[in-house]
Amino acid sequence: MNAPASLAAVTPDAEWADQALDAMLARVLAELAPREPLTIIEWAERHRKLSSEENPDFAGDYRLDNTPALRGILAAAGEEGVQRIVVQKSAQLGYTAGVVCNVLGYYAHWKPCVQVVMFPREKSAKDFDAEKFSPMVRATPVLAERIHLKSRSDGNSTTRKKYPGGLIKFVASNSPSDVKSTTAKIRIVEEPDDTNKDVRGQGNSIALLRERGKAVRGGLELIGGSPTAKGASEIEKEMRTTDQRRFMVACHHCGERHEVEWEHVVIPGFELDDEQLADPEIDAKWPRRDVYGRARWEDAYYVCPHCGGIWTDDERVANIRRSASEPPFYGWVPTASAADPGFFCNELQSVFDGSRVPVLAEKFLRAQHLYDQGDPTEMVTFTNATRGRLWTYTGDLPEEDELRERAQKYAEWTVPAGALVPVMYVDVQHDRLAVCVWVFGRGEEMWLAYWGELPGRTIVEHAGAWLELEELMGRTVMHASGVHVPIQAVGIDSGDGQTSDAVYAFVRKHHHRGRPVLAGKGASDRVGRVEIWTKPKPVDPNRKATKASRYGVHVNIIGTAKAKDTLLGWAQEGGRVRLPGTGPGRMHWYEGVRPDFYEQLLGEMKIPSPSNPRIRQWVERTDRRNEALDCTVGCLWLSRHLQLHLRKPHVWDMIEARLVQASLLDEDEAAAEAEASVDGATSSPEAPAAAPAAPLPVPAIPPRISLSPGRISLSSTARFGPGR
Ligand SMILES: [Zn+2]
Query: What is the CATH topology of the domain spanning 40-239?
Result: Rossmann fold (3.40.50)
Give the pLDDT confidence of 611-640 residue by residue, as tens digits: 777 788 898 888 889 999 999 999 999 999
Q: Using 50, 70 and 90 to split pLDDT, how confident is the model at 248?
A: very high
Report how far ligand 1's centroid is from the alpha carbon of 309 (Å): 5
Report how far ligand 1's centroid is from the alpha carbon of 304 (Å): 5
Is the pLDDT confidence value at 582 over 60?
A: yes
CB 226 within 8 A of CB 191: yes
| pLDDT at residue 689 in the model | 37
Report how far ligand 1's centroid is from the alpha carbon of 357 (Å): 17
Report how far ligand 1's centroid is from the alpha carbon of 263 (Å): 15
Is the pLDDT confidence value at 198 over 70?
A: no
Report how far ligand 1's centroid is from the alpha carbon of 254 (Å): 4
Q: Near ion ligand 1, which residues have CB within 5 Å?
A: 251, 253-254, 304, 306-307, 309
pLDDT, mean over the chain:
86
Q: Is the peptide bond preceding residue 328 cis, with omega within 30 degrees of 0? A: yes
Report how far ligand 1's centroid is from the alpha carbon of 259 (Å): 12
Report how far ligand 1's centroid is from the alpha carbon of 312 (Å): 13
Cα 445 to Cα 417, 496, 580, 587: the distances in Å are 12, 30, 12, 6
Report how far ligand 1's centroid is from the alpha carbon of 218 (Å): 42
Report how far ligand 1's centroid is from the alpha carbon of 303 (Å): 8
Give the pLDDT confidence of 320-356 residue by residue, as tens digits: 999 999 988 999 999 999 999 999 999 999 999 999 9
Q: Could you tell me the end-to-end alpha-carbon distance of the chain, in angstroms, rounded to an integer?
A: 94
CA atoms within 13 A on the CB side of 484: 14
Give me the residue spans of the domains in the chain. 40-239, 245-335+356-386, 409-569+592-603+626-642
Kindly state the percentage of the chain with pLDDT values over 90: 64
Higher pLDDT, 258 or 398: 258
Which amino acid, residue 580? P
Per DSSP, the three-state class of 541 is coil
Report how far ligand 1's centroid is from the alpha carbon of 262 (Å): 16
Report how far ligand 1's centroid is from the alpha carbon of 266 (Å): 15
Report how far ligand 1's centroid is from the alpha carbon of 291 (Å): 33
| pLDDT at residue 127 in the model | 95
Report how far ligand 1's centroid is from the alpha carbon of 301 (Å): 14
Rounded to the nearest 5°, which phi and psi values hold at 239? Answer: -65, -30
CB 723 within 8 A of CB 670: no
Report how far ligand 1's centroid is from the alpha carbon of 387 (Å): 21
Which amino acid, residue 170? F
Give the pLDDT confidence of 516-551 residue by residue, as tens digits: 999 999 998 889 999 999 988 766 656 666 778 788
Q: In terms of pTM, does the model score above 0.75? A: no
Give the pLDDT confidence of 207-225 residue by residue, as tens digits: 888 887 877 888 999 999 9
| pLDDT at residue 10 in the model | 45
Count Cβ atoms within 10 A of the Cβ of residue 160 and give its class: 0-12 exposed, 13-18 middle, 19 or more buried. Answer: middle
Give the pLDDT confidence of 350-390 residue by residue, as tens digits: 999 999 999 999 999 999 999 888 788 899 999 999 999 99
Per DSSP, the three-state class of 31 is helix
Provide CB contacts within 8 A for 190, sequence distance 6+: 96, 100, 117, 118, 119, 120, 124, 128, 224, 225
Report how far ligand 1's centroid is from the alpha carbon of 359 (Å): 23
Q: What is the arithmetic mean of pLDDT over 434-438?
A: 98
* Angle, CA of 699, 702 and 704, to the nearest 5°: 165
Report how far ligand 1's centroid is from the alpha carbon of 311 (Å): 9
Give the pLDDT confidence of 688-718 residue by residue, as tens digits: 333 333 333 333 333 333 333 333 334 333 3
Report how far ligand 1's centroid is from the alpha carbon of 363 (Å): 26
Report how far ligand 1's centroid is from the alpha carbon of 255 (Å): 6
Is the pLDDT confidence value at 671 over 60?
A: no
Count Cβ atoms within 10 A of the Cβ of residue 311 and give its class: 0-12 exposed, 13-18 middle, 19 or more buried. Answer: buried
Partners of 170 in the beta sheet? 117
Report how far ligand 1's centroid is from the alpha carbon of 256 (Å): 6
In 140-223, alpha helices (H)? 141-144, 176-181, 205-213
